[in-house]
Amino acid sequence: MGPMDILPLIFSVTNWTLVLLVLGTFFLAGAVKGVIGLGLPTVAMGLLGLAMAPVQAAALLVVPSMVTNVWQLALGGRFLYLMKRLWPLLAGVFAGTWAAAALMGTGSQPWAVRALGVALVLYAISGLLAFQLRVPVRWERSLGAVVGCTTGVITAATGVFVIPAVPYLQGLGLAKDELVQALGISFTASTLALAAALARGGALGHHEIAASLFALVPAMAGMWAGQYLRSRISPAAFRRGFFTGLGLLGLYLCF
């Protein structure tokens, strides 16, 4: 099943299993993001990886990820301040994604599903252990560039852009609202870099954009549901369940 086959498969009346998988995946992924502020691309890539190649899942992810992340980064009020601190990370993300995509493609290799599984397991472990970096201010530029490049390489290989960017951002000592906005900025940059790499490789044309727009509807519905639930459930317990499930899914994809 090639990337250009996604749209007809989604809208085929003979393939309701895939339709339900896409709808359910993006609703769940949006709900996770609504509750804890992240997780949409990670959940989507992990679950869709059960039924399609990472390059196909990444193409579906572009519009929902872009819209929800732009929404998230717009809510802060510290955009210019954060851009001044994060530009080495963002430049590294673009450089790493483009270089890796040029050398090995974007999630289309035979080992891409296992690489996705490994990325999910590593992210789940860091989340469950509440791993916390402390990044000295004097190291921000050099370490940010390295973290950005590494994140870009992993993004190109798996479509997941949380490792090691999220632990790095959590280690900058940002206030809560600043961290949420910084995550939105980082994820938006990664989505743009991934979309550009997919388009350059011929995996993101008008068919894929249309399919990704289709996926935006359940993602937004899920995000609104998650925001409604956020004040009614324990975020800490939800995070533990989320990372445990993500780790198990990653292990399954590894084998």
Q: Which spans in 74-164 are helix H? A: 79-104, 112-128, 140-158
Global pTM value = 0.86
Coil, strand or helix at 190: helix
Q: Kindly give the confidence (pLDDT) of every residue in the chain, 255 residues in length, as a single tens digit, with 9 standing for 90 and above.
A: 444 455 555 555 446 778 888 999 999 999 998 888 788 988 999 999 888 888 888 999 999 999 988 888 887 778 999 999 999 999 999 999 999 998 887 666 778 888 889 999 988 998 888 777 788 888 999 999 999 999 999 999 888 898 899 999 989 989 888 988 999 999 999 999 999 999 988 888 888 888 899 899 999 999 999 888 887 888 788 888 888 999 999 999 988
Secondary structure (DSSP) of 27-78: HHHHHHHHHHS--HHHHHHHHHTTTS-HHHHHHHHHHHHHHHHHHHHTTSS-
Q: Would you list the domain boundaries of the chain?
A: 3-254
